[in-house]
Amino acid sequence: MKEPENNVFDILYSINVNDKTETKNSGKSKLTYLSWAWAWAEVKKRYPTANYTIEKFENNLPYVYDSLTGYMVFTQVTIEGTTHEMWLPVMDSNNKAMKNEPYIYKVKEYDTNGYPTGKFIDRKVEAATMFDINKAIMRCLTKNLGMFGLGLYIYAGEDLPESDTPTPSDANKAQRVSADVQKTYNCANCAKEITQAEYAYSLKNYKKALCRECQKLEKGKPC
Ligand SMILES: [Zn+2]
């Protein structure tokens, strides 16, 4: 006999979400999003008692902010007694972390054939607003549902809907995986590279990005 959770997973994983996605294309980054309203409706139709929580932090705000790395939002979903947590950085349409003020970064310039010209161009990331944070929360919720199987293959970068016109980014199909998976994070104390899970955990519990070792040190610090 199957465990109830596996049953939920099998049912949600088997739902075809291909025509419920929206693909955002900009430069080299390509992201596929599932409509949160549709995703939640599909879950509720099958599991009417399913519920979600948007995690709140200081001053009851639905995000954690770190001036080096930006904003992070967190959700929890419970289906049939099982709870999974998810987190997502607040990003602009180019997949860059948004901060509390605008900033400029440089990107390689490509010619029409997709080859680097050797030049760099400036790109601007606008400051995040509540609109961006809300959008990230709804995407986080959708991704959270992916932990239960719904649309999970989107996040694994498999069987994504193909675009009609070839673009330079076709050479980098692996990059189609949701950008937050590729994004690298570093410990704020020792600069060691850390995983996104470590990043999310430490930001939530220590208010800054910390590797496991530095988390231990931080814990041992007297108040
Ligand atoms: Zn460290």
Q: What is the CATH number of the domain that holds 25?
A: 3.30.390.80
Tell me how many domains the chain contains: 2
Structural domain contains residue 51: yes
Nearest-angstrom CA–CA distance, 38 and 41: 5
* Residue 36, token pair as written in the block: 């949160």
Structural domain contains residue 106: no
- Cα–ligand 1 centroid distance for 183 (angstroms): 18
Q: List, in sequence order, every beta strand (DSSP E) within the chain.
A: 21-26, 29-34, 51-54, 64-66, 70-79, 82-89, 103-110, 116-125, 185-186, 193-194
Structural domain contains residue 122: no
Determine the straight-line distance between the first and last CA of the chain, rounded to whole angstroms. 51
pTM (two decimals): 0.70
Give the pLDDT mean for 90-107: 92
Beta bridge partners, 53, equal 76
- Cα–ligand 1 centroid distance for 119 (angstroms): 35
Say yes or no: 68 and 135 in one domain: yes
User: Which domain does 210 fall in, by range?
Assistant: 184-223
Structural domain contains residue 111: no
Structural domain contains residue 115: no
- Cα–ligand 1 centroid distance for 50 (angstroms): 38
pLDDT for the residue numbered 30: 59
Say yes or no: 77 and 149 in one domain: yes
- Cα–ligand 1 centroid distance for 188 (angstroms): 7
Structural domain contains residue 223: yes
Say yes or no: 84 and 143 in one domain: yes
Say yes or no: 40 and 138 in one domain: yes
How many helices and strands in the chain, by DSSP H and E?
Answer: 7, 10
pLDDT for the residue numbered 164: 34
Structural domain contains residue 116: no
Say yes or no: 133 and 212 in one domain: no
Per-residue pLDDT tens over the stretch 14-65:
998 888 877 765 555 556 778 899 999 999 999 999 999 999 998 899 999 9
Nearest-angstrom CA–CA distance, 59 and 196: 25
Say yes or no: 41 and 145 in one domain: yes
Nearest-angstrom CA–CA distance, 55 and 62: 6
Structural domain contains residue 166: no
CB atoms within 10 A of CB 207: 15
